[in-house]
Copies of this chain bind each other. A is one copy, B any other.
Amino acid sequence: MPTQLLIKNCQVLQFMDDIPVISDGQDIWIVDNQIKSVGERLQVDGPELTEIDAAGMLAIPGLMNTHAHVPMVLFRNAGPDVNADDWFNKVIFPLEANLTPEDVYWGAMLGLAEMIEAGITSVADHYFYMDSVARAVEQAGLRANLVWAVFGHEGYAKLDETVAFVERWQGKANGRITTWLGPHSPYLCDPDFLCRCADLAGQLHVGTHIHVSETREQVELSFNRYGKSPVRVLADTGILEQPCILAHCLYPSEEDLDLLAGQPCGIAQATKTYLTLAMGLPDLEKYLARGIPLGLATDGAVSSCNLDILEQMRLLAMTQKHHDHDATKMNVDQILRVAFQGSAKVLREPRLGSLVEGALADVVLLKTNRASNFPAINAKAGLVYNLNAGDVDTVICDGRVLYQHQRHLTLDKAEIYREVSARLPRLLRKDLNHKIADYPS
């Protein structure tokens, strides 16, 4: 007997011929982990039917976070107001040297709790001790694409361990967990290492998830070392011919953009990190003009401070208007396409990002009654510019209710806070001579 959920009488965000539309008075019928139908006054019954009264709420597809380092929430705000090189070498790489697999588990639990509170149901996570993260994802009930981050200096044996992780967890948790490979970046993995990653990804039929072209200095470094851009380095390894999430990619050349066009890769954008680390802003129109998928991301909480896709959505729209000196750019419809359709493309999961028959049943209900969202003259603009993580009432992932009326149903927050607090004194001791890697600066 399939379990059935009926979400009743809400507003629903859908895409009609790629145009986002918010309709009133809709029901959403979920059977097992899929959406069965969306419409007015659906007639459904059955012994395994649970009804959710969603009057006054807006239903949106579960938010997607296309690039994160979830357990980094352990170090939230540990180093504000520093530039990228200090951020790597004086803040995060020394702190991460303190982590054990159990720390990462509790960091993942905390970060997943935060993402659930923020309406995020899917995350592409790039970290280490990833069995810990996978265990946490399984327990929290979210959907995740997981990669075990690896640096070139860790060597091929380490890379093989990340392959073993892929094999251990692929398709687990009712298919909610997928696993790819995670070479850190062209600046911390040499081309031979990246070629090996590409070969392995091909053998495993998986993708890769990698940082690239985050700063102008990284691009210069690549030309100095290899005589070519970081994107060209990746292209030459074959990585771009397979599914690939490119994190950030703020400084592509025109040639780089042409290399990316038509490849099965997408770009994860975490605007808050680019502002807090003063990394600059990309020209996103050039990606969109070439049909290169763009998705929203939070990055880690040591640069973006939180894991909040709604805030990232708003920041991306506003900063693109600023960047282009044109307020008509990245309009409400465009940014909603990036947030939902774009992010689903970056994650390479066409069953995400829209509430239609056959889609995976990842649904978020937002309360819309705060004074800051009234009157709702333009509900789509309200979603982009007024609703916040704090308005998330209910989160459903894979047909299961994870969070309702702002209470967690799968996670014990008090226990998570206790575990994290107990670990913090040890985790925050910093030895600048003891780092997980050296950022080239």
- Which A residues are closer than 8 A to B by beta carbons? 73-78, 80-84, 87, 110, 113-114, 117-118, 272, 274-278, 280-281, 305-308, 315, 318-319, 321-322, 324-329, 331-332, 370-378, 381-382, 384-386, 388-391, 413, 417, 420-421, 424, 428
Contacts and interface: CB of A to CB of B under 8 A. Distances in A.
Given A386-B77, A388-B388, A277 B327 contact: yes
Nearest to A112: B371
A221 to B, nearest CB: 18
Number of copies of this chain that the complex holds:
2
Contacts of A307: 372
B374 A318 contact: no
B78 A378 contact: yes
Determine which residue in A81, A305, A321, A332 has the highest number of CB atoms from chain B within 10 A of its CB, and name it.
Answer: A81
Determine which residue in A110, A305, A388 has the highest number of CB atoms from chain B within 10 A of its CB, and name it.
Answer: A305
A77 B276 contact: no
A394 B390 CA distance: 16
A294 to B, nearest CB: 18
Contacts of A322: 274-275, 278, 280-281, 319
Contacts of A321: 81, 275-278
A381 B78 CA distance: 9
B76 A377 contact: yes
**List of 3 A-B pairs having minimum Cβ-Cβ separation, nearest first:** A390-B390, A275-B318, A305-B385
A278 B375 contact: no
Contacts of A274: 322
Contacts of A378: 77-78, 80
Nearest to A408: B371
15 contacts: A76-B386, A81-B331, A87-B327, A114-B370, A274-B322, A275-B322, A277-B321, A278-B329, A306-B386, A307-B372, A315-B318, A375-B424, A388-B388, A388-B389, A389-B390
